[in-house]
Amino acid sequence: MYPILFERLFLKKTIRIILFLSLILSFQNSLSQNHPNLILTKQGVIDIKSQLGAIPIFDNTLDKIKKEVDANISEGSKVPIPKDMAGGYTHTQHKKNYNMMQNAGVLFQLLGDEKYAIFIRDMLMAYAKMYKSLPLHPQDKSYARGKLFWQCLNDANWLVYTSQAYDCIYDWLTDTETTYLNENLFKPFADFLSIESPQFFNRIHNHSTWGNVAVGMIGLVMDDNELVNRALYGLKEDNIDPNAKDNDGGFIKKQGQKVGFFANLDDPFSPNGYYTEGPYYQRYAMYPFMIFAQALNNKKPELKIFDYKDGILIKAVNALLNLTDEDGEFFPLNDAQKGMSYYSSSLVSALDIAYFYGSKDPALLSIAKEQNEVQLDETGLAVAKGLKDHLEKPFIKKSVELIDGENGDQGGVGILRYNKKDYTMALVIKYTSQGLSHGHYDKLSFSLYENGDEVLQDYGLARFVNIEQKNGGGYLKENKTWAKQTIAHNTIVQDQTSHFKGDFETGSQYHSIRYLFDASNPIFQILSAKENNAYPGTELQRTIAIVKEESFQKPYIIDVVKITSNATHQYDLPFYYFGQVISTNFKYEIPDVLTALGKDNGYQHLWKEASGISNGGTIEFTWLKNKKFYSITSATEQGDQLILARIGANDPEFNLRKDPVYIIRKTDSKSTVFVSIIEPHGSYSPVSESAKNTYSNIKDVKLFYNTENYTAFIMTYKFGIKKLFILSNNDASKETKHEINIDGKSYQWVGPYLFKTIK
């Protein structure tokens, strides 16, 4: 395939001698003549080799990877001409190639078997031969087409991984070889991803992070400072049209926006590490962020990258781990495929790097233990050793507020958790900024989990990532027409239109406002946030609390949505439950033919299965899912509509999940309040056929008082106790003394709310 062997060996020997001499003569050469030095380092390799066979998880990971790479080498390498979309053959093969090369590089360094170096060299040569003459990828679905893949993003993935492989065999290659590869493959590749694709490279976006890091990594390997600086600070000129948008409808670039790797650390990360796109994309971006940081730390320690922005990278990993359910799966805020979790290889890597360069937090080790694999370098070795020495401590996911925005002043995500042995509840409430082009229009939405299972869901994205039959694995049109729309979420919709009319530009100008977050009392945790821009002229405030009463088997949830508007509107409050309707205390009609609930804004995707009208009393809705019962008990006004609907209308390719929803609708309302108690209760066993606690324990819920400054409701438990809740709407101070008179009675308290038993 390439220069015959004896020639290479001869050259190699000569070069080694020259290398040795030059090392002695000049330490300045060390940067370029001392590979590996990107992720693996010379010293790191020595340390690791000395401990091979003694650190179980490290050894097991190495063994697993060795098996995969060996199998791949036996199959013979394939470098096909790019052709297919995601999920198709050429896409999958090129993706496999960069993974195999990266792993082979590690195996070469740790095991010293030349076959791995040969595998990488030959494959790189095959890419190099092809690269310069490659046109843009034939599939033209992306705003930034790649060459190996349909989008630059995947090309950048390739380079981030392949840079590491290249670094591992750099010293083993001849000068002729490295010169050839640099000139024919890597430099053109880096230029293509940056200079030739500014709309991809010069953004604040996870795509650009990958692009920046790809260019930076290969720049570090080739000791090309120009490339490294390009990566860190972006292209100086890009001529990007300020109105240009990407495939997801996001703007490419705001005017005057800083770009490059540092800018991508500055802007999307909040001070406590929340990444504005949401956890699914944070997970995706964490790998390039962390791996490049590790490389920079090795080669440019003077940048002190892990201290940057008060240690933002380490904080980001912690934030991300907190954005998971009991099973380690990320909460699917914004565009997010469900099931993605901290078992993802990018999180294995990010966690190991965070452990090693952070404070060696033993709580991270317990997650690493679950992951049961490590990154094959010094960071992974440290983690594996920590586990071998049983240093791990539980990673306890507590209630936490993750603020959004570069300065942390753009709302946030509130997570309320109730943890008990064998039972956990998690509530995720979103009051962030738009979240860039992957953002959904769902201010003040929430989702509910029990023991890691969804109870009230966020739909996530409409996409089958890497399943070729479904639009080449790319976003489906239903992502825009359904998944991003407000009605696809558990939050208020006014007049069947989405927040900000579903307009990205408008949505990007605003964020919700955090009003109150107090999780200090585990049996009464409360959060409140406001949104004043989603519907001009209408102010929304949602208050959610987890309440655990001794007399209740599980905690219940208070959900109060206060709406203040200057005009009359229709308001829908959906609850995306799962499973089977067990009972309602209202009558409903079912239609003979099913029609869609509306014409647009996502409503065209809902079949209306049933509807009823409230008589103005307490309305109860009970369902059964996963052998457990749940009820939503709500205060309503006469004429409120109660709608049972199901996703799936106008879905010509069966792209949507046919999940159900219960909607409380208020028509012709100006200012109003939705009050609901969401209550998990009881259980069912199909084996003993025993049904326990199948009824809600809430007898009634009544709005008691509602002014600009205060909102109050009263509820009665079925066993008789009455509870009053009052919220101060405009003063969340813990110190303020409040006093109000309702129906001739005076109520006094200190702090933002009152919750107490009354007679």
* Residue 280 half-sphere exposure toward CB, CA atoms < 13 A: 17
Residue with tokens 């294995």: 348
Task: Please name the residues in contact with 560: beta carbons below 8 A apart, sequence gap of 6 or more.
Answer: 542, 543, 544, 673, 674, 675, 676, 711, 713, 725, 727
Shortest Cβ 546–a copy of itself spacing (Å): 26
Shortest Cβ 104–a copy of itself spacing (Å): 19
8 A C-beta contact, residue 276 and residue 270: yes
Catalytic residue among 274, 281, 287, 515: 281
The Cα–Cα gap between 196 and 219 comes to 17
Q: Please give the distance of CA 693 from its chain centroid, rounded to a whole number.
A: 36
Q: Please give the distance of CA 108 from its chain centroid, rounded to a whole number.
A: 34
Q: For a copy of itself, give the closer residue by CB, 562 or 628.
A: 628
Kindly report the backbone phi and psi dihedral angles of residue 51, in degrees, each rounded to the nearest multiple of 5, phi listed first: -115, 5
Identify the helix (H) or strand (E) that includes residue 351: helix 345-357
Binding residues for a copy of itself, per CB under 8 A? 87, 92, 337-341, 343-345, 464-470, 473, 580-583, 590, 592-596, 607, 609-610, 622, 624, 644, 646, 648, 650-654, 657-658, 660, 684, 686-691, 694-695
438 is catalytic: yes
Shortest Cβ 52–a copy of itself spacing (Å): 26
Q: For a copy of itself, give the closer residue by CB, 262 or 576.
A: 576
8 A C-beta contact, residue 406 and residue 266: yes
Shortest Cβ 602–a copy of itself spacing (Å): 17
Q: For a copy of itself, give the closer residue by CB, 211 or 648.
A: 648
Q: For a copy of itself, give the closer residue by CB, 498 or 655.
A: 655
Shortest Cβ 590–a copy of itself spacing (Å): 5
Shortest Cβ 677–a copy of itself spacing (Å): 18
Q: For a copy of itself, give the closer residue by CB, 512 or 622.
A: 622
Shortest Cβ 654–a copy of itself spacing (Å): 4
The structure tokens listed for 113 are 């078997």
**Coil, strand or helix at 128:** helix
DSSP string covering 273-320: S-BTT-HHHHHHHHHHHHHHHHHHHHH-GGG-GGGHHHHHHHHHHHHH
Q: For a copy of itself, give the closer residue by CB, 366 or 694.
A: 694
Catalytic residue among 94, 438, 569, 738: 438
Where do the H-state alpha helices sit in 436-503?
477-478
The Cα–Cα gap between 334 and 442 comes to 9
Identify the helix (H) or strand (E) that includes residue 12: helix 5-25
Phi-psi region of 501 (alpha: psi -120 to 50; beta: other; left: phi over 0): left
Q: For a copy of itself, give the closer residue by CB, 418 or 464.
A: 464
* Residue numbers annotated as active site: 281, 438
